[in-house]
Each structure stands twice: as C-alpha cells, then as structure tokens.
Amino acid sequence: MPEHVHLVIHPPDGTQIGRVIGEIKSLSAREWFRTTAGKSEKTTRVFWQGRCYDHNCRSRESVREKIEYCHNNPVRRGLVEQPEDWPWSSYNWYEGKADVPLKMDISEF
C-alpha cells in the first residue's frame, strides 16, 4: 500500500515478535533514508508509526482470511482492478507464478 504495509508472519514458537517487527522497521527505514529521496527531506526523520496493529490467527481459516484481506486491500482502495495487478502483493506467488517480486516461505497454512 502507498502509506502502510500488511504482513502475515508465522514465527517459530518462542519468537519475540516485537523484536522481529522492530528489525523490519529499522532495516527498511534505514534503507529509505539512505536513498536520495530520503536524504533530501529536511524534517524529522520518522518513517514508521510507533506501533503496529497485530492480530493473532488461531486457525488456518484465520490465516487464509488475513492473506486474502491483504491481497484484496489494493482493490478495495481503488488502486488496481484485480489483486494480481498490485505489484507488491504475494497474490501472484500464491497463484503459482514464478516471476514475482515477493516470494513467500512455504507454510502449512
């Protein structure tokens, strides 16, 4: 999405998910500010909101529902007509296409 990201993460047991999210935020913000566009900004360097919204999926159906929500979000927002048209979606990977920018780890879900 232009101003936010959706992730479905299936961490191993015992993973401190807050640390995982923090690392994702830290690495991506540093990369952004390393670019010319990021360096040209003269305001306070804040890239991410302070907190993320999370939802614990307790069933396979819930995981599938969240993945489908992510795939359909650009359509609902009017950014594309079909989920496969959004270039940063995992939709095409799930459809079995090989040439995709985002590849998913194979999961039991």
Listed by start position, the domains of the chain span 17-94
Give the pLDDT of residue 48: 83
Measure the CA–CA gap between 103 and 101, rounded to whole angstroms: 7
| Cα–Cα dist 1/23, whole Å | 20
Q: What does the radius of gyration of the chain's CA atoms come to, in whole angstroms?
A: 16
CB 26 within 8 A of CB 34: no
* Cα-Cα end-to-end distance for the chain: 23
- The pLDDT value recorded for residue 82 is 96
What local confidence, expressed as pLDDT, does residue 42 receive?
61
pLDDT for residue 2 is more than 80: no
- What's the pLDDT at 35? 79
Q: Fill in the DSSP letter of residue 12.
A: P
What's residue 78's pLDDT? 95
pLDDT, one tens digit per residue, over 25-81 is: 889 888 888 876 656 656 667 788 777 778 888 888 998 999 999 999 999 999 999
